[in-house]
Amino acid sequence: MNLTKKDLSALLKKELKLSVDISNSLVDEFFKALKTTLRSKKSLKLSGFGSFEIFTTKERIGRNPKSMKNYKIPSQNKVRFSPTSKAKYFLN
């Protein structure tokens, strides 16, 4: 099951009895804060849920399987999520 921003907004609207505009803006602001924090600090911890961490992959050589030509794959920044022990417990 996928949980979209629209679904999150609908849950906020239902549970907290908010208007559609307010619940949409809350969800948008939350994700904007996540992005801003990850860009500036490289890590983010949500207590009781988990932490997000930025890591950089190494530059490597890839191969096109059709033509068998090699090409360089540049290094990239990626996000890694690590759940807390509480989150692992309620998942299992």
User: Structure tokens of 77?
Assistant: 């920044």
Asked if pLDDT for residue 1 goes beyond 80, the answer is no
pLDDT at 50: 93
In angstroms, how far is CA 86 from the centroid of its own chain? Answer: 19
Q: Using only C-alpha atoms, what is the Rg of the chain? A: 19
Cα 49 off chain centre by: 13
What is the reported pTM? 0.72
The domain defined by 45-92 folds into HU Protein; Chain A (4.10.520)
β-strands 70-73, 60-63: how paired? Answer: antiparallel
List, for residues 33-85, the tens digit of each pLDDT value: 999 999 888 889 999 899 999 999 999 999 999 999 999 999 999 999 999 98
Q: Which amino acid is at 39?
A: R
Residues paired with 53 in a beta bridge: 43, 80
Domain residue limits, the chain: 1-41, 45-92
pLDDT band at 26 (very low <50, low <70, confident <90, very high): very high
